[in-house]
Structure 1
Amino acid sequence: MFSFYRSVVLLVALVLLTGCERQDAPALDQQLYVWQRQWTPAHDAALRDSHADFSTLRVLALQAFPQAGWSKARIDADLLKRDGRPLIAVIRLDGQLQSLDQDEVRGQIQQVISDWQSQGLTLAGVEIDHDAGNARLPAYRQFLTKLRGTLPAAMPLSITALPAWLDSPELPALLSTVDSSVLQVHAVNDPRRGLFDADQARRWAKSWSHRTDKPFYLALPAYGVALLADAQGAPVVESEVPLERDGERRELLADPQQLRTLAVELRADPPQHLAGLIWFRLPLANDRRAWSLTTLRAVARGEVLQGELSVKLSADNGLYDIAISNQGNLDNAWPERLTLSVQGCEGADALAGYALQQSADLLTFSRLREGRIAAGGQRAIGWARCAHIDQGASNVHP
């Protein structure tokens, strides 16, 4: 009997200890980059709807380009104040800059901090995003050391970092100048090899954890780009701003299923010093090449992802508007084909992106080009004037 009670006590103690260990284990933080140079009314809903899932906003504040010079992002300070999340101002120094005029850069950064504070914004930190080559890391370290000395003592300083720096003996000294780093694991290879590789990202994160004793984050993609070729065949990347170029566009999109799996694995077994994930970027309702916010939130939560396409008909005196609705949490490709069982049709047509084939009792809409229907959204594909359309007999073919 004594042995039985002792076993029970040990079991209860083990359960309590295990529970304490789970409570003490820090959860991975999840943050967002806000990367639009010009803010629009769409930011209001995007910030509001992202509030529950992402703790901190890293906001593009200032950029420097080789020819164009300095460009300040036109933020909406009132929206950010109302949002209330911690703010980190990100300064982007293009990697193609031949050199950094350290005094000028520090002056520009101090001016941004002053401007934001004058608008009632409290900064939780400054991040420098500079894709320096390995040969320039000593100069970059000197710049960061001097910048650290000019910032308020209590203001954290972080940098965006490249996996290529892992091979540099300068990396430990560079990381010693900042409070944390953000390892960018997307869009760092030849774009013809793809936007993101999850296995490679895991390896980089593990290697980075061995090179730093400070908190670091992973910057993960929630967007896509188009790949074109210039006259010499070299890759040209098109993002949200259309390029005035002819030629075929190859669309590259970060796979939400792949990113969800990676995020779940990292939360379950994070590399040492990994503090969180930062998603690039906050999607707006009119973004052409970003995941919908519904999909991004589902990925961040680790939800099972699924698109749920269905036909949506709107009738008015025999005139039907025909659309595809996506009620899932995963953005879905336009279906290849939609068939509708009909009676007594006087006319019908497809809208841009689809072609129509019509017989006496069947309408078939076939996809001409690729596109996506956002989670929770819909897309009109045609119209028909018919005596009757049997929605129950419709078929959506992926």
Structure 2
Amino acid sequence: MRFIVGLFLGVLLVGCEQHVAPALDQQLYVWQRQWTSAHAPALSDSRSDFSTLRVLALQGFPGTRWGRAQVDPALLKADGRSLIAVVRLDGQLRSLDQEQVTAQILQVVADWQARGLTLSGVEIDHDAGNARLPAYAEFLKHLRAALPPSLPLSITALPAWLDSAQLPALLHSVDSSVLQVHAVSDPRLGLFDAKQALKWAKAWARISDKPFYLALPAYGVALLSADGGAPVVESEVQLERGGQRRELLADPLQLSQLGKTLREDPPEHLAGLIWFRLPLANDRRAWSLTTLRAVARGDVLSSQLRLSFKEQGGLYDIQLENHGNLDSPWPAQITLKAQDCAGADALAGYALQQSANLLTFTRLRDGRLPAGGQRAVGWARCAHIDQGGSHVDP
């Protein structure tokens, strides 16, 4: 009888235990063609949250042109994380010369190894159209045979390939795949659709019997208006041209919700998430690393905007600070209660209206204040500013 009661209680306790969703592996793309001093702190601050670095190593352009990314091997060696070299083959290449492309890739692998880097894999990023997938699969078979057997081979994959009968053969040629679910169609429709991304992931899981990852956006782009044509996309590098710029940014809240869904009910064979891209301190079109880490961890996201004042001899420097973990748009309006102001002005991005006992700063253009960041919005020479009477209107 005691055994039956004990068994019943054990079953009851197990039934009451909360289900803890397993953590998804989190990785990063490092996509800068020229490495700078900003890479060292970015790599150091990202180490605890992202297991693997997928680093742009080589690009193949139309016309048999090749470009090596100028990486810092000493930084990568000191970082110590798993390292995957990414080879970007332009989608506009008319064909892939198997021998030439393979030779270029093998040379990069040999050069990186000679510089003391231990590779955990090679990834091929090639946006081939569906009609070219048979030839692409043949190239991948050729490359797989040429690479050391112990070096895994992966590919970046497009959701459009789901419509191709060649997809199973293509996936058979590699060890894993990275399904890119951002900016895959007309960017005018937005950078990311979480519902569509989840549908693509589930469809991919039904076809792939090997591990796959989702490549997710942590960045923005600008669309530059063009006369009578499709807009030009401006991303990491600013284009020297005029015209209106429409900024598009992946929404951290939307990506955080998708991450929660994937952790609680991951599609079969989903091995993890890869974020594009490692944000540097001067990367104005990427999420801050603070926000990216919070999304990857599944933390609750919030912006906490506060005003701070530095006063010396009646001169106040007015600063806006973000004490939260979510990047925030610049607030539309900031109002301050002030007494006996002899002068005041707004700094770039804001305009000032001054009336009796009130300073109003109005936003003139869009901007973002990164999590943990601050920016000056203006100054005022006043007898007194009532900090408790200040107001930030998002």
Give the TM-score range, shorter chain: over 0.9
Find out whether 1:319 has 2:322 as its counterpart: no
Residue 186 of structure 2: aligned partner:
190
Determine the C-alpha separation between the residues in 1 that align with 2:67 and 2:205. 34
How big is the shift at 1:82? 1.1
Find out whether 1:56 has 2:58 as its counterpart: no
How big is the shift at 1:233? 2.6
Residue 246 of structure 1: aligned partner:
242
Find out whether 1:263 has 2:259 as its counterpart: yes
CA contact (8 A) 2:25 2:271 kept: yes
Determine the C-alpha separation between the residues in 2 that align with 1:11 and 1:266. 32
Q: Which moved more, 1:224-233 or 1:280-289?
A: 224-233
Determine the C-alpha separation between the residues in 2 that align with 1:63 and 1:198. 29
Aligned ranges for residues 230-379 of structure 1 at < 5 Å?
230-379=226-375
Query: Counterpart amino acid of 1:295?
Result: T
Find out whether 1:202 has 2:198 as its counterpart: yes
Find out whether 1:89 has 2:62 as its counterpart: no
For residues 244-289 of structure 1, give each alpha carbon's deviation from its aligned partner in whole angstroms, at most 9, with x where no partner exists: 2221111110000000000011011000110100010110111110
Secondary structure of 2:120's counterpart equals strand
Aligned ranges for residues 139-158 of structure 1 at < 5 Å?
139-158=135-154
Determine the C-alpha separation between the residues in 1 that align with 2:64 and 2:230. 23
Query: Counterpart amino acid of 2:9?
Result: L
Give the RMSD, CA atoms, in angstroms: 1.7
Determine the C-alpha separation between the residues in 1 that align with 2:12 and 2:91. 53
- Runs of 5+ unmatched residues, structure 2: none
Determine the C-alpha separation between the residues in 2 that align with 1:222 and 1:85. 21
How big is the shift at 1:147? 0.3
Q: Which moved more, 1:339-348 or 1:215-224?
A: 339-348
How big is the shift at 1:192? 1.1
Give the 3 Å change call, closer, same or farther, for CA 26–148 of structure 1 in structure 2: farther
Aligned ranges for residues 2-17 of structure 1 at < 5 Å?
2=1, 5-12=3-10, 15=13
How big is the shift at 1:229? 2.5
CA contact (8 A) 2:22 2:263 kept: no
Residue 218 of structure 1: aligned partner:
214
How big is the shift at 1:212? 0.7
For residues 96-137 of structure 1, give each alpha carbon's deviation from its aligned partner in whole angstroms, at most 9, with x where no partner exists: 111112211111111111111111000000000000000000
Residue 104 of structure 2: aligned partner:
108
How big is the shift at 1:92? 0.3
Secondary structure of 2:40's counterpart equals helix
Determine the C-alpha separation between the residues in 1 that align with 2:48 and 2:9. 37
TM-score, normalization by structure 1: 0.96
Give the 3 Å change call, closer, same or farther, for CA 318–165 of structure 1 in structure 2: same
Residue 25 of structure 2: aligned partner:
29
How big is the shift at 1:230? 2.0
Q: Which moved more, 1:10-19 or 1:181-190?
A: 10-19
Determine the C-alpha separation between the residues in 2 that align with 1:28 and 1:262. 12
Find out whether 1:174 has 2:170 as its counterpart: yes
Determine the C-alpha separation between the residues in 2 that align with 1:67 and 1:320. 58
How many pairs are equivalent?
394
CA contact (8 A) 1:191 1:235 kept: no
Q: Identity percentage over the alignment?
A: 70
Give the 3 Å change call, closer, same or farther, for CA 15–56 of structure 1 in structure 2: farther
Query: Counterpart amino acid of 2:358?
Result: L
How big is the shift at 1:298? 0.4
Find out whether 1:45 has 2:49 as its counterpart: no
How big is the shift at 1:26? 5.4
Secondary structure of 1:123's counterpart equals coil
CA contact (8 A) 2:83 2:118 kept: yes
CA contact (8 A) 1:61 1:90 kept: yes
Determine the C-alpha separation between the residues in 2 that align with 1:18 and 1:389. 56
